[in-house]
Structure 1
Amino acid sequence: MKVTSLKTLLGVSLSLAGVLALGPVNLVHADEYALPNLLVIGTPGTSSGSFASTNGWGPILQKDLGINVRVVPEDSEVQRHKRLTERRDLALSSVSAAELRFQIQGIGHYATMTPVPQRVIWHHNDTPWGFVVSGDSDLHTMDDLKQGGLRVAQGQFSPPMIAAVRDGLPAYLGMTPEEGAAQFDFVPASSYVENCRTVVEGRADVAYCATISSVMAEMEGAPGGIRWLSMDLDNTQAWAGFLEHRPMVVPGTIKMGVSSSKGIDGLASNFLYAAPADIEDAFAYRMAKWFHQSFDQYKGSHPLSTRMSLEVFREYLDRSPLPVHEGTVRYLKEINAWTEEDEKWNQEAIEKVDSWVVARTAALAEARANGIKPDANDERFMAIVKKHVKGLEGFRTRL
């Protein structure tokens, strides 16, 4: 893997049951398809860029199409996933590609949930992330983290964030997860905001955070400020270790976010608007068409909204391993933004998702048949899951 060639990829310092109950709508009539009167969109919490930017374009969609748009912040990734796939009171969810991988492959608590195939509707943003310390910290480089006894914030609300600090960080430093557990004291945080604030509150020495979130501006303005540890793009060995545990991120130089982060080497975590695969094709088509054709109207509503252009989406599709909804595909074909190569990898991605759904469904059935309650902390249950998914190929960014 050649990480140095990826520097340009960040680009910048980076009740709805009615929707599903209307019955199938032929795509031939997709242009006449009327969105439901109430469109509910789930996002991460109120301090996230995803929440702020969705609130930027939501009112414009509402005015354009004469419907009601409600943006619902849900900090718990698991709960937002349940609302989208089980309760079905969300039409769309802003979710990171990393979290989608966890959901599809049943990693962590997701292993206990009924698998529901999902599809990408549109690109939301490519959020820059990195490791942050307080401005008066003695830590200046990633190598400084190799000293023992450091406290590392660990967001309990997101499995990918847990993986980034418990597994990815030690791997970047050349350690095994076991060595990392012995080296670091992981400080639990119940929310994203709490996770980041730990470094300015003196409860942790380093935290894994997104540079564009509003809490970072607050922290940067606090006495002493904050500083970011550069993840050297030329250190291919370190990055190879990190990507083993966070295979959906893209290394690059940060160009968007708080001023202290700009120019620092970090990574991008792409956020996508996703939905269950069984939503109406015409709904996905109508949303994709609006996202594209109304871009000039909403791109100024929030800095992250500039990352919803067709051009950025198209760039992401060149490396995405996640399947795109047929309604979106149909619209992209109409505007000549979808190729035969896209069709090939998208069908492969659909088949890969289906294979995980089949295997995990079988695992749940076997567990219940044997009186074993689905529990990620139950070794018996996890052994059944591992048996059924053994040999399946995981999802990884196509670099």
Structure 2
Amino acid sequence: MTADRRITAFAAAGILAIGLGLAASADAPAQAADGVPNQMMWSAYDVGSTGHAEASAVADALMKNHDTRIRILPSGTSIGRLLPLKTGRVSQGWLANEVFFATEAIHDFAAQEWGPQDLRVVMGRPASYGLATAKDANIKTLADLKGKRIAYIKANPSINTKNDAILAFAGLTRDDVEVVETPSYAAAVRSVIEGRADAAGGVPTSALFRELEASPHGIFWPDIPADDAKGWENLRAIAPFFAPNTETLGAGLSEEQPAELIAYRYPMVTVYADQSEDEVYALTKAIAESFDDYKGATKVMPLWSVNQAGVPPADAPFHPGAVRYLKEAGVWTDAHDTWNAKRLERMKAVQAAWDAATDEALDKGLPGKEWEAFWEQYRKDHLGG
């Protein structure tokens, strides 16, 4: 059964069909002699976010160095950032962990009108994440989190998945802790500041963690040791895009007092797999070679150096056009090729499972409202979760 028949049978893709129709009618952007499109539109997080600030800094540098004009379309939701990329309204997305969720067809992307998205990464800087604890909660190691109050955020799978992965590192799940539900990222951290929770996950450089550091509770980051092979196996079973990272910047951290945390990619310059290899190559080269013009824009921009932002792991495989430039730049290795191939293999397995599950659901006459529960169980049975 074709994908078109499935979508028709489900009658659930109206908004995407409209967007795709609009994209198909648009002329492809002209390209300069260096291959960089004369016009680009990028989707990114909301104005005021680090992702938007970083996209703006890179856009300014590219417009300075190339014959191109770039506009940024901000959105506060994962669907709002990815839908314009799918429909062709934007050519690149500056995205976060929705890249992983979309390739795996989970959370928002388990809906029938979405399914596994064939995304590719161009570049993405490493960002640190950890579980910050109240220092007076006497949590010295991740194992000490057992029975403690951990802040989770309603309808925020990006944060909650990271928290689950860190718990898994210590052999724990949500059942082993007291989950404190909060409505937002800020509320999660404030629940620790106000003594209603013992730990909350986040990025150490967040101003909210500075408030926790200055509070009577103080702040502590339990280590996630890079040399704990079993712990990392457990963590990557939740999400394979994490890597070890020693962090010295942020609340309660310094060169003298670092913490071993996890690194993920945010933001990631993201495209669909069918985007032109030559165009992605030219964009990757332009971003990498404009580094000197944006590296001082914010404190984290130095992390956009090609040797840090141009290597896996990431939430999706790297695009062949990006890989071509990264090999020329001398940062892409055989080990990176192996990682990329494994990630591609996983994505193909998810796509095949989605097709088979869709056929089975249609054969059974499964009502659309039951699809997501059916797919979740099918994933567990055929993909291991």
TM-score range normalised by the length of the shorter chain: 0.7 to 0.9
Give the match for residue 106 of structure 1.
Answer: 105
SS in 2 for 1:154: strand
SS in 1 for 2:171: coil
* Match for residue 165 of structure 2 among 165, 168, 185: 168
Give the match for residue 35 of structure 1.
Answer: 38
Q: How does 1:367-382 map to 2 (within 5 A)?
A: 367-369=361-363, 370-373=365-368, 378=373, 380-382=374-376
Cα offset, 1:207, TM superposition: 0.7
Matched, 1:122 2:123: yes
Which sits farther off after the overlay, 185-194 or 17-26? 17-26
Deviation string for 1:161-184 (max 9, x for gaps)? Answer: 32333x434433334x3xx42x42
* Match for residue 359 of structure 1 among 353, 357, 363: 353
Which sits farther off after the overlay, 104-113 or 327-336? 327-336
Q: Name the Cα RMSD after superposition.
A: 3.7
Cα offset, 1:132, TM superposition: 0.8
Whose relative contact order is higher, 1 or 2, with alpha carbons under 8 Å and at least 6 apart? 1
Cα offset, 1:152, TM superposition: 1.1
Cα offset, 1:42, TM superposition: 1.4
Deviation string for 1:357-393 (max 9, x for gaps)? Answer: 2331342344245233165763x34344556xx258x
Could you tell me how far apart the structure 2 residues matched to 1:144 and 1:119 are? 38
Give the match for residue 156 of structure 1.
Answer: 154
Cα offset, 1:58, TM superposition: 3.0
Cα offset, 1:215, TM superposition: 3.4
* Match for residue 329 of structure 1 among 306, 323, 330: 323
Cα offset, 1:341, TM superposition: 7.0
Q: How does 1:134-213 map to 2 (within 5 A)?
A: 134-146=134-146, 148=147, 150-165=148-163, 167-175=164-172, 177=173, 180-181=174-175, 183-213=176-206
- CA change 1:77–1:226 in 2 (3 A) is farther
- CA change 1:94–1:349 in 2 (3 A) is same
Cα offset, 1:40, TM superposition: 2.5
Amino acid at match of 2:191: T
Give the match for residue 9 of structure 1.
Answer: none
Could you tell me how far apart the structure 2 residues matched to 1:309 and 1:365 are? 45
Cα offset, 1:295, TM superposition: 0.6
Matched, 1:241 2:240: no
Matched, 1:306 2:302: yes
Give the match for residue 5 of structure 1.
Answer: none
Q: Name the count of aligned residue pairs.
A: 359
Deviation string for 1:259-316 (max 9, x for gaps)? Answer: 43751121111232111222333442332121111111111111222111122235x2
Segments of structure 1 that go 5 or more residues without pairing to the other structure are: 1-14, 395-399
Q: Is the 8 A contact 2:74 2:81 kept in 1?
A: no
Give the match for residue 294 of structure 1.
Answer: 290
Q: How does 1:239-278 map to 2 (within 5 A)?
A: 239-260=232-253, 262-271=257-266, 272-278=268-274
Could you tell me how far apart the structure 2 residues matched to 1:109 and 1:61 are? 33
SS in 2 for 1:331: helix
Could you tell me how far apart the structure 1 residues matched to 2:141 and 2:333 are? 43
Could you tell me how far apart the structure 2 residues matched to 1:71 and 1:276 are? 17
Could you tell me how far apart the structure 2 residues matched to 1:19 and 1:337 are? 36
Amino acid at match of 2:109: Y
Could you tell me how far apart the structure 1 residues matched to 2:289 and 2:193 are? 43
